[in-house]
Amino acid sequence: MNMIKKNLTSAICLMLSAGLCLTSCSDDDDNGGNIVDESVSLYASNNLDGNISVYDFEAGENVSSKTLITTSTAADGIYFDDDTNSAFQASRSGNNLEGFANVDVLQSGTDLLADFIGTSDMESPREVAVKGNTFVVADNADVDGNDSTLDGRLFVYNLASGTFTLQNVITTDFKLWGITFKGNDLYAVVDTTNQLAVFTNFLSTSTDATLSASKTISIEGIERTHGITYDSDSDTMIMTDIGDADNGQDDGGFHIITNFTNKFNSVADGDMLAVAGNQVRVSGASTLLGNPVDVAYDSDNDVIYIAEAGNGGGRILAFSDFDFSTGGDITPTFNSALTSASAVYLDD
């Protein structure tokens, strides 16, 4: 897989140095070439028009993209299922889950009608985490109407016969944004903070309940976290930092935590995971990170994808040409404009 990464980086550098105009179906600022053994697709949602953007990195080809038109006007968490070739997203305009079958064969500009639809139960849906046929959606809305008491909700849906059925609702004692499964455990960022929480054996609770996290730690170096992803093959957790919420242009970043399981387990509940020896931070003016709200990771090729909501109005960024052990102020190797980008999901 190291050769894949080298080929990817070499192709990007050659094309950029030659000043070539690269082919793409999107209005890209700085697209890079891509050489991989098998195609990789990135799915992205946004809060401007609710459409789904698909970026295809194909063997021996440049990056191509397409936009699929949904009836939603704003959307957040997104997921792609290989078995049915279906894309799912949390509609923020409809406050429900919606899914679209066979999207891989559709042309750009296709109008979509939902093949899978859920009831409008939520108020402010954000990230989606999937385990089998169970879809968990983090809702960022204030539950009790009192801003001084922090809370959020996790809506748990089961998908069967083309229909989403609400199984139960978990109320949390902190605000939610990004969520991800690690085995049977659900990890959640604690919005407005630098904290990471885990609910062990999350799906064992199948009725409505109010739950406190099994464990919560702080992540040194992060001001306010939003996006999160976990890669089981490499045991890597990646979290984004939006910095000051009033600055959406240049104070964001992301943290890479390798050997995550041991590092997380070594920190006691309520304590902090130090940066030194445990984390790598990527941030700075060259990164174009101002409000990175979601993240996806391709561990085979060492590529990190970011949904950037603020810088330049919104972008999809990819970082591959850097030392994952040092991080720093890195220029993205892929940069595609997507206004109000809200979520990304990698199909590899």
Domains and CATH numbers, the chain: 2-347 (2.130.10.10)
The residue ranking higher by pLDDT, 28 or 63, is 63
**Report field, pTM of the whole predicted structure over 0.85:** yes
State residue 22's pLDDT score. 32
Nearest-CA neighbor of 98 among 130, 81, 75, 82? 75
Q: Is the pLDDT of residue 245 over 70?
A: yes
Confidence label for 38 from pLDDT (cuts 50, 70 and 90): low
Confidence label for 112 from pLDDT (cuts 50, 70 and 90): very high
State residue 301's pLDDT score. 87
CA angle, 222 then 225 then 227, to 5° = 130
Q: Is the pLDDT of residue 25 over 90?
A: no
Q: In terms of C-beta density within 10 A (0-12 exposed, 13-18 middle, 19 or more buried), how is residue 147 classed?
A: exposed
Do the beta carbons of residue 322 and residue 286 sit within 8 Å?
no
Separation of alpha carbons 178 and 224, rounded Å: 12
State residue 7's pLDDT score. 40
Q: Is the pLDDT of residue 325 over 70?
A: yes
Q: What is the pLDDT of residues 4-21, one digit of tens each?
A: 343 434 333 333 333 323
Residue 69 is classified by DSSP as B
Q: Is the pLDDT of residue 30 over 90?
A: no
Q: Is the pLDDT of residue 33 over 70?
A: no
Q: Is the pLDDT of residue 229 over 90?
A: yes
Confidence label for 35 from pLDDT (cuts 50, 70 and 90): very low
The residue ranking higher by pLDDT, 78 or 348, is 78
Confidence label for 60 from pLDDT (cuts 50, 70 and 90): low
Q: What is the pLDDT of residues 120-150, one digit of tens each?
A: 999 999 999 999 999 999 999 999 999 899 9
Q: Is the pLDDT of residue 186 over 90?
A: yes
Confidence label for 58 from pLDDT (cuts 50, 70 and 90): confident
Q: For 194-211, give one letter per residue: b (16+ CB within 10 A) or e.
A: bbbbbbeebbeeeeeeee
Percent pLDDT > 90 in the chain is 82
State residue 32's pLDDT score. 55
Q: Is the pLDDT of residue 1 over 50?
A: no
Q: What is the pLDDT of residues 188-197, one digit of tens each?
A: 999 999 999 9
Mean pLDDT along residues 170-198 = 98
CA angle, 262 then 265 then 266, to 5° = 85
Calculate the alpha carbon distances from 259 to 262, 264, 345 in Å: 6, 9, 22
Tokens of 11: 């192709």
Do the beta carbons of residue 155 and residue 121 sit within 8 Å?
yes
Q: Are strands 209-211 and 163-172 parallel, antiparallel or unpaired?
A: parallel
Calculate the alpha carbon distances from 106 to 52, 162, 293, 295 in Å: 12, 20, 27, 25
Do the beta carbons of residue 80 and residue 87 sit within 8 Å?
yes
Phi, psi of 251 (to 5 degrees): -115, 20
Dihedral sign from CA coordinates of 78, 229, 347, 162: negative
Separation of alpha carbons 71 and 225, rounded Å: 30
State residue 8's pLDDT score. 38
State residue 31's pLDDT score. 57
Separation of alpha carbons 330 and 313, rounded Å: 20
Dihedral sign from CA coordinates of 221, 185, 166, 81: positive
Any alpha helices (H) in the chain, and if so which ranges? 2-18, 260-266
Confidence label for 39 from pLDDT (cuts 50, 70 and 90): confident
Residue 106 is classified by DSSP as P
Calculate the alpha carbon distances from 100 to 49, 59, 271 in Å: 16, 26, 42
Dihedral sign from CA coordinates of 18, 24, 29, 32: negative
Q: Are strands 253-257 and 209-211 parallel, antiparallel or unpaired?
A: unpaired
Residue 280 is classified by DSSP as E
Q: Which helix (H) or strand (E) holds 63?
A: strand 61-68
Separation of alpha carbons 334 and 28, rounded Å: 9
